[in-house]
Amino acid sequence: MKLMFPVKFRVVAFLLAITVVFGVSGVAAQSKKQAAKKPAATKKAVAKKDTAKAKDTKKDKRNKKETVADKRAKKKEDPKVDKKKNSAESKRAEAERRRKEAERRAAALAEQRRREQARREAIARQQAFIRGLRTETVENIAKDRTDGEDLNIRNVALNALGDQAGSVVVMEAQTGKVLTVVNQEWAVRRTIRPCSTIKLVTAAAGLNEGVIDKQTGAVRNVSTRRMLDDALAYSDNPYFQRVGANLGNTKLVEYGRKYGLGEPTGINLDNESPGRLPVNNSNARIYSHGDDTEVSTIQLAVMASAMTNGGHRVLPRVPRTAEQNDRFPTMYKANVELPQQNVRRVIPGMMGAAEYGTARRGMDQTLGVAGKTGSCIDKGTWVGLFTSVAPIEQPKYAVAVILRGPKQRGRYAAAVASKIYSALAPKIVRTDRNLAQTEFKIQPRNVAVPTTVATADEDEDEADDAASGATNSNGNVIVVPSAPRQDEPKKLVTKTGSSKPTFPPVVITYSKDGKTSTITEQPENKKRERVVKP
């Protein structure tokens, strides 16, 4: 063994063994060290891997969204898909349209039913109101004290009044002998707005104060479309408002009292009302519409008599004994202390009203009637008035009529008076049939004027101070322009509370053939549209 492995070789082998042992230990230690470091490196790698994976996921989502958007865009671009979508939308739109149309029809039907109900209620109220006025008239007439009256003339007046609500006075214009008073409660104890009959007082004041030219009838310093005679005949509101603007309130009240307004006439019937005058009222309507003024039927008869009998304010009385009836003593309560030419200068215009103006309908032109109409709204309804005398040359009778009701106007009151005058015709004797020409050397212009023009001026509350058009029954509109004015005046008229009816008006329109009609209720605050022909 010693021969086979010398010492030299044994040392080398020992060293190699030691080297191998230490090498293996170093490798093991290094392996252990690497093994210890390996978990930390793995965690970092996993974290990096997760981050990369999250980025990839977001990228995949974005790609997926872009893919969906691309697909949708493609679907839009696809005509088949677009057609299907449009068809569905059209169906939905059509269904929505049908739903809205059904709602609209239901709402229209409900509104129609509401209006029909409102119309029925308005008509019922109106009819009840009319019945109430007529019933009150009948009851009042039944209570009238008729002893001393001319019963024949009373029957004539009753027949002329018919079933209308109103009052009538027939009196001898020269003596004041009252022949009949129908509905004495309304004719003597109640008062109402005089409407356009106040224009007689405005005219008389304007003539005596020099505001109206006695020869031409023109208004001082003002251009008007009519002169005095035709202004009275057609009841021209702007004319008398311009006269009043030059007069002032004090003068109107003063002349009103001269003609017996604002105080009792002295008739021998109980509880006579004095009426009233528009003291301290500067509204221009007091000169044309009679605002803030109230008169009775008997006062109208006395006023017309005083203007045509030479200025004598007769004391109206009903003869209570046979002796008074046979020999009635004429008594004057007062005289209108004015020049007779000024007092009687209103006569041509009053004649014109009966011959060709607002009172001409049905009037017997051979009887020499002269008068003045009035139409306005007062105490919740329309009022129609007419005060007159006949024959104008030497007045024998004075007839005054006041009617109340939604359809009443001055022309209808004049129609009642016309029937009375026709019945009295055998007792009416004409003398000078050319009174206007002989006394004043003025002849009213008897020009044929459309009915609508007269109606427009007569129905004051429908034709305001500047209104100049009206609609007739056929729906045609005629516009009468005002004459050029030297200086454009400020607005003179202010509507008053008495200009509004109590109930909403009911408008009835007719078809062209005149066979069918439609009734609609107009709200109180709704303004009527003015229709003007081009």
Supply the mean pLDDT for the chain: 80
Same domain, residue pair 345 and 490: yes
Higher pLDDT, 66 or 280: 280
Residues in the chain: 534
Span 418-464, pLDDT tens digits: 999 999 999 998 887 666 666 665 554 544 444 444 444 454 444 44
pLDDT band at 67 (very low <50, low <70, confident <90, very high): low
Pair 274, 406 in one domain: yes
The model's pTM:
0.68
- Residues 184, 323, single domain; the answer is yes
Query: pLDDT, tens digit, for every residue of 152-169?
Result: 999 999 999 999 999 999
Sign of CA dihedral 516, 404, 307, 288: negative
For residues 391 and 295, membership in a common domain is answered with yes
Residues 241 and 330 occupy one common structural domain: yes
State pLDDT tens for residues 170-226: 999 999 999 999 999 999 999 999 999 999 999 999 999 999 999 899 999 888 999
Q: Are 117 and 516 in contact (CB under 8 A)?
A: no
109 part of a folded domain: no
Q: In this structure, is residue 341 part of a structural domain?
A: yes
Closest CA to 462 of 521, 527, 413, 522: 527
Residues 267 and 387 in one domain: yes
Q: Are 407 and 181 in contact (CB under 8 A)?
A: no
CA distances from 348 to 76, 84, 195, 387, 435 (A): 90, 87, 20, 15, 8
pLDDT for 18 equals 78
Q: Are residues 497 and 379 in the same domain?
A: yes
pLDDT at position 364: 92
Is residue 292, in this structure, part of any structural domain at all?
yes
| Contact yes or no for 340/204 (Cβ under 8 A) | no
Gyration radius of the chain over CA positions: 51
pLDDT at residue 472 above 50?
no
Q: Which domain holds residue 44?
A: 1-69
- 487: which residues sit within 8 A by CB, 6+ positions away? none
Q: Domain count of the chain?
A: 2
Give 270-292 pLDDT, tens digit per residue.
Answer: 999 999 999 999 899 999 999 99
| Dihedral angle computed from the Cα positions of residues 144, 150, 153 and 158, in that order, rounded to the nearest 10 degrees | 10
Amino acid in position 72: R
Q: What is the pLDDT of residue 440?
A: 61
State the burial class of residue 253 (Cβ atoms within 10 Å of its Cβ: 0-12, 13-18, 19+).
buried
Same domain (yes/no): 156, 42: no
Strand partners for 479:
469
Q: Does residue 236 form part of some domain? A: yes
Q: What percentage of residues in the chain have a pLDDT greater than 70?
A: 69
Q: Are 64 and 150 found together in one domain?
A: no
Residues 38 and 154 in one domain: no
Residue of 66, 119, 54 lying closest to 508 (CA atoms): 119
Model pLDDT for residues 8-40, shown as the tens digit of each residue: 677 777 777 777 776 666 666 666 666 555 555
Residue 173 · residue 371 · CB < 8 Å: no
Helix axes 199-208, 249-258, angle to 10 degrees: 100
The CA distance from 274 to 254, in Å, is: 15
In-domain check, residue 137 = no
Whether the per-residue pLDDT at 65 is higher than 80: the answer is no
CA 348 from chain centre, in angstroms, equals 34
Domain boundary among 47, 69, 91: 69
pLDDT at position 343: 86
- What is the pLDDT, as a whole number, of residue 227? 94
Residues 353 and 436 in one domain: yes
Residue 254 included in any domain: yes
H or E, element range at 283 = none
Report how far apart, in Å, the C-alpha atoms of 76 and of each of 47, 68, 79 are.
43, 12, 7
Nearest to 138 by CA among 165, 120, 101, 118: 165
For the segment 101-159, what is each residue's pLDDT rounded down to a tens digit?
999 999 999 999 999 888 888 878 777 878 889 999 999 999 999 999 999 999 999 99
**Could you tell me the CATH number of the domain that includes residue 196?**
3.40.710.10
Is 119 a domain residue? no
* Residue 519: predicted pLDDT: 45
Q: Which residues pair with 335 in a beta bridge?
A: 312
Domain boundary among 16, 43, 69: 69
pLDDT digits (tens, 9 = 90+) for 386-420: 999 999 989 999 999 999 998 899 999 999 999 99
Q: Is residue 255 over pLDDT 80?
A: yes
One domain for residues 58 and 148: no
Taking only the tens place, the pLDDT of each residue in 290-341 is: 999 999 999 999 999 999 998 999 999 999 888 888 889 899 999 988 888 8
Task: Provide the pLDDT for residue 448.
Answer: 44
Please state whether beta strands 370-378 and 381-390 pair in parallel, antiparallel, or not at all (unpaired).
antiparallel
Q: How far is CA 189 from the centre of its chain?
A: 31
Would 338 be classed as within a structural domain? Answer: yes
Q: Given a cut of 80, is residue 44 above it in pLDDT?
A: no
Q: How far apart are CA 286 and CA 417, in angstroms?
A: 26
CA 523 remoteness from chain centre: 9
